[in-house]
Amino acid sequence: MPPAETPDILLIRQTRPDVAGRLAERFRLHRLEEAPDREAFLDAVGPRIRGLAVGAMCPIDARLFDRLPQLEIVASFGVGYDTIDAGEAHRRGIVVTHTPDVLSDEVADLALGLLLATLRQIPQADRYLRAGRWREGSFPLTTSLRERRVGILGLGRIGRAIAQRLEGFGVRIAYHGRTPQADVAYTYHDSLLGLAQAVDTLIVAAPGGPGTNGIVDAGVLAALGADGVVINIARGSVIDEAALIAALQAGTILGAGLDVFANEPQVPQALIDLDRTVLLPHVGSGSHHTRAAMGRLLTDNLFSWFDGKGPVTPVPETPWKGQR
Ligand code: 8YV
């Protein structure tokens, strides 16, 4: 039995055994998903909970905070925290942490893989061979990364890692974000539409949330032109999915490579039916190496907090500024 002063931690959609195992060494763990009656469970343990360990894309809001009056910290698994009401957490003095940096290279690698797969139709060519169609004739020629102008929406940690990789491919790189960045040589556009007009390939690396909801809209897609290709490794919400489907169906853009969707794990049948899409089940950070690093960083945040050393990787909105 842990001593009485052992902090109580609630796990929500956080099922990695290494995370739970490490937390169990130090904390008293409660697993929301294992409770037969979650409301009764929250009534019983909620008043004691001081920390949350949550899976990615898990809704954490005022309603839950109301049930957890002793809550000090929400440690989230993933860099994106658009499903956590960080502003409300701030108002209540609750620290929110995420897992940046440790996944940037993995997600950027996948973005480049998805870009090449979409342009050169790698999955389609694989399906062609497996269906025995090579014997009937060569696979059709594809579009190319050669001579493309690539725009990155969101030059944060992951956007930068994508840009660095693209430099090796010898393509022109431009970007749009809230502010121009002094330490990069890529061309800045102060509007997304301006970026889309200047490029034919758009890689979405901007965070989700109200500020970016549906900003890749019909006008932006049309501006990419008939050779336009969209890659999204960020959040499905950033793209107006209905407008994307309409543009692909009408041929006003050429293709899309998507690792994320508006309503995961639901993927619109229209996207599946299109041959010019490459669709992945949100696997950007999904390697053993990177998910283990994310798990360690999540647990480091909780250990550090309850050791009185503050959070390791707080989100920008969090009340932590060196001291509470
Ligand atoms: C998820 C992600 O963490 O980091 C993010 O924001 O979306 C992913 O890395 C991953 O899908 C775990 O569920």
Model pLDDT for residues 224-280, shown as the tens digit of each residue? 999 999 999 999 999 999 999 999 999 999 999 999 999 999 999 999 999 999 999
- pLDDT mean over 133-151: 98
- Do 127 and 201 fall within a single domain? yes
Catalytic residue among 172, 282, 296, 317: 282
Q: Is the pLDDT of residue 301 over 60?
A: yes
Provide the pLDDT for residue 59.
Answer: 94
Q: Is residue 264 part of a domain?
A: yes
Q: Is residue 292 part of a domain?
A: yes
Please list every protein residue whose CB sits less than 6 Å from any atom of ligand 1.
55-56, 77-80, 103, 282, 284-285
What percentage of the chain has pLDDT greater than the value 70?
A: 98
Q: Is residue 314 part of a domain?
A: no
Domain range spanning residue 23?
Answer: 8-101+288-307
Q: Is residue 149 part of a domain?
A: yes
Going by alpha carbons, the residue nearest to atom 4 of ligand 1 is: 78
Q: Is residue 270 part of a domain?
A: yes
Q: Is the pLDDT of residue 144 over 90?
A: yes
Provide the pLDDT for residue 57.
Answer: 86
- Do 273 and 296 fall within a single domain? no
Are the C-beta atoms of 199 and 149 separated by less than 8 Å? yes
Confidence of residue 4 (pLDDT cuts 50, 70, 90): low
Beta-bridge mates of residue 151: 174, 202
Going by alpha carbons, the residue nearest to atom 8 of ligand 1 is: 78
Provide the pLDDT for residue 3.
Answer: 60
* Ligand 1 geometric centre to CA of 315 (Å): 15
Between helix 17-24 and helix 288-306 the angle, nearest 10°, is: 20
- Do 123 and 243 fall within a single domain? yes
- Do 254 and 119 fall within a single domain? yes
- Do 139 and 93 fall within a single domain? no
pTM of this structure: 0.96
Q: Is the pLDDT of residue 300 over 50?
A: yes
The predicted-structure confidence for 49-81, as pLDDT tens digits, reads as follows 999 999 988 999 999 999 999 999 999 999 999
Mean pLDDT of the chain: 96
Q: Is residue 230 part of a domain?
A: yes
Catalytic residue among 50, 235, 241, 291: 235
The predicted-structure confidence for 73-87, as pLDDT tens digits, reads as follows 999 999 999 999 999
Provide the pLDDT for residue 313.
Answer: 98
Rounded Cα gap, residues 172 and 161, in angstroms: 15
Which residues, in sequence order, are CB contacts of 294 under 8 Å at separation 6+? Answer: 77, 78, 99, 102, 103, 285
- Do 124 and 215 fall within a single domain? yes
Rounded Cα gap, residues 30 and 49, in angstroms: 9
The predicted-structure confidence for 23-38, as pLDDT tens digits, reads as follows 999 999 999 999 999 9
Q: Is residue 1 part of a domain?
A: no
Mutate to test the pocket of ligand 1, among 282, 287, 296 (most ligand atoms within 8 A of CB): 282
Active site residue 28: no
Active site residue 282: yes
CATH number for the domain that contains residue 30: 3.40.50.720
- Do 264 and 134 fall within a single domain? yes
- Do 85 and 232 fall within a single domain? no
Question: Per the structure block, which two tokens stand in for 29?
Answer: 């763990």
- Do 70 and 112 fall within a single domain? no
- Do 73 and 161 fall within a single domain? no
Are the C-beta atoms of 85 and 61 separated by less than 8 Å? yes
- pLDDT mean over 4-11: 91
Q: Is the pLDDT of residue 323 over 90?
A: no
Q: Classify the C-alpha dihedral 306-50-294-20 as positive or negative.
A: positive
Count the domains in the chain: 2
Nearest to 150 by CA among 108, 196, 214, 191: 196
Q: Is the pLDDT of residue 320 over 80?
A: no
Cα–Cα distances (Å) from 9 to 57, 223, 271, in that order, read: 19, 49, 40
Mutate to test the pocket of ligand 1, among 81, 84, 103 (most ligand atoms within 8 A of CB): 103
Are the C-beta atoms of 266 and 112 separated by less than 8 Å? no
214: how many CB neighbours lie within 10 A of its CB? 15
Cα–Cα distances (Å) from 261 to 196, 214, 281, 320, in that order, read: 21, 12, 9, 32
- Do 88 and 232 fall within a single domain? no
- Do 300 and 216 fall within a single domain? no
* Ligand 1 geometric centre to CA of 285 (Å): 6
Q: Is residue 214 part of a domain?
A: yes
Active site residue 146: no
